[in-house]
A = this chain, B = another copy of it.
Amino acid sequence: MAYTVGQVARAARVTVRTLHHYDEIGLLSPSGRTAAGYRRYDDADLERLQLIRAYRELGFPLEEIAEILDDPGGDPLPHLRRQHELLTGRIGKLRDMVAAIELAMEARKLDIQLTPEERFEVFGDFDPDEHAEEAERRWGGTEAYRQSTERAARYSKEDWLRNKAENEEWGRRITELMASGAPADSPEAMALAEEHRQLISRWFYDCSYEVHTGLADMYLADPRFTAYYEKIRPGLAAYLNEAIHANAISRA
């Protein structure tokens, strides 16, 4: 069977202009033309259009759809995966926004001033994009990084807020301990180091003692991380570093 543009358009619930467009870019060219130049679509064309609309509804750009469809017997899996990542990424962003909105509502009720960071993030005070890029460069392709992003994508705003709360609670306790003058290799400090390790394991990735000490060294080596801990309390980065090492040695 052969169909005109208008018939195809009505059947597939798209406009004629859309079909013209698909023809122009070579995504879907009618199998033939009449003597007068009218486009003639056949059943195979209709089938292809079905595919196109299905992929489009999943959010694929036309160019990528063309790649998928024109690679006969080719594997659409990489494309599907890529799209999957894009979508989960977007979901993550939306969740951050929901959290930010909730925070804004809360602040409104309590008449609290929000810092710009609070306004746009639930997290601490580093730029998450910068952080993601940094993380990618440092740990990209590592198992821990994969785990971390995978889990992060699944967390709800409540999860994030709970995470933040746990983090802050831990921060308060180690600050107190340090202020009390307890040495970094005291049992109490080591216990808090251990808690820190488990916090990471629970929220982000399996954190072995070895990985943990590596992380501890980075807290001293990387000014950005150092600043994070130093801002909580001067000397905390070094204190935590020592406590983590002591803890790791004692468990070995």
- Which A residues fall within an 8 A CB radius of B? 1, 3, 7-8, 10-13, 43, 46-47, 50-51, 53-55, 57-59, 75-77, 80-81, 83-84, 87-88, 90-91, 93-95, 97-98, 100-102, 104-105, 108, 113, 116-117, 119-120, 127-130, 138, 141-142, 146, 150, 217-218, 220-222
Contacts and interface: CB of A to CB of B under 8 A. Distances in A.
5 contacts: A10-B130, A13-B128, A51-B220, A54-B221, A87-B97
Nearest to A60: B101
A58 B222 CA distance: 14
A119 B80 contact: no
A46 B116 contact: yes
A58 B100 contact: yes
Contacts of A222: 76
B76 A98 contact: no
Given A10-B127, A46-B116, A54-B101, A108 B80 contact: yes
Contacts of A77: 105, 108, 138
A100 to B, nearest CB: 6
A81 to B, nearest CB: 7
B80 A105 contact: yes
B87 A98 contact: yes
Given A77-B138, A105-B77, A108-B77, A221 B50 contact: yes
A105 B119 contact: no
Contacts of A150: 141
A104 B50 contact: yes
Contacts of A218: 54
Given A13-B120, A116-B11, A141-B150, A87 B76 contact: no
B59 A97 contact: yes
Nearest to A72: B223
Contacts of A119: 11, 46-47, 50
B97 A58 contact: yes
Contacts of A47: 104, 119, 220
Contact of A101 (B83, B102, B130, B142): B83
Nearest to A117: B11
Contact of A220 (B1, B7, B54): B54
A100 B102 CA distance: 29
A77 B108 CA distance: 8
